[in-house]
A and B are shown apart, each in its own frame.
Chain A
């Protein structure tokens, strides 16, 4: 089971680009890397997922190096509303399905 490690907290200012790196040294061949965002008193919300290289959507970019032992979530030009906890997950493919195990997450604080 691939374990993920990410910084506990990060600070940023409005308008800056934020990069959150996650380590997953034991990632398996079939595993995908997924990121979620959680605001207080709400359930997590899917942001992006990828297998290798770079993935971009309207919210974020995900960079995955060739060895796939880490990944970086990039949030362009953050605003106060991006203050949240960000979770990196590695999808564990087990028998018929996959367990999505959450780690501790990174608490991002965006300041004016």
Chain B
């Protein structure tokens, strides 16, 4: 199993550009989520999904869109990039969405810089 994969690893954008961060998992996990981590800070939840076709907002959803058309993929779209979105983005997945299924598997991250 490849686990959770993210592409690209690094990206530089100009203000106002849009792009999609890709995330895929091959563990047949129902639950997927996106976090961002700013330097020296903890992770903040952007969006999450409890299954194909179902998404919901996390702590900091503004400026980001998600969709979940398949179990495997959970792309994150930046609509109009801003310097405040410079961060490391982590995708994660876990088997179930119940309160006892809290072992999330994280991808290697995408380092995004917005100029």
Q: Which residues of A contact B (CB under 8 A)?
A: 30-32, 34, 36, 41-46, 49, 51, 87, 89, 91, 93, 95-105
Residues of chain B whose beta carbon lies under 8 Å from any beta carbon of chain A = 31, 33, 35, 41-45, 48, 50-51, 54, 56, 58-59, 90, 92, 97-109
Asked if residues A100 and B45 are in contact (CB atoms below 8 Å), the reply is: yes
Total of A-B residue pairs, C-beta within 8 Å: 74
Residues of A within 8 A of B33 (CB): 100
Q: Most B CB atoms within 10 A — which of A45, A100, A103?
A: A100
The smallest beta-carbon distance between B53 and chain A, in angstroms, is 12
- Please measure, in the bound complex, the distance between the C-alpha atom of A42 and the C-alpha atom of B101, giving whole angstroms: 22
Residue of A nearest to B103 (CB): A46
Prevailing SS type, chain A contact patch: loop
Q: How many Å from the CB of B95 to the closest CB on chain A?
A: 12
When the two chains form the complex, which single residue of A32, A103, A104 contacts B102, counting CB atoms closer than 8 Å? A32
Residues on A with beta carbons closer than 8 Å to the beta carbon of B54:
96
Given A43-B92, A97-B56, A98-B97, residue A104 in contact with residue B104 (CB < 8 A)? no
Q: Which residues of A contact B50 (CB under 8 A)?
A: 96-97
Tell me if A98 and B102 are in contact (CB < 8 A): yes
Instruction: Find out whether the CB atom of B58 lies under 8 angstroms from the CB atom of A99.
Output: yes
Contact A104 B106, beta carbon cutoff 8 Å: no
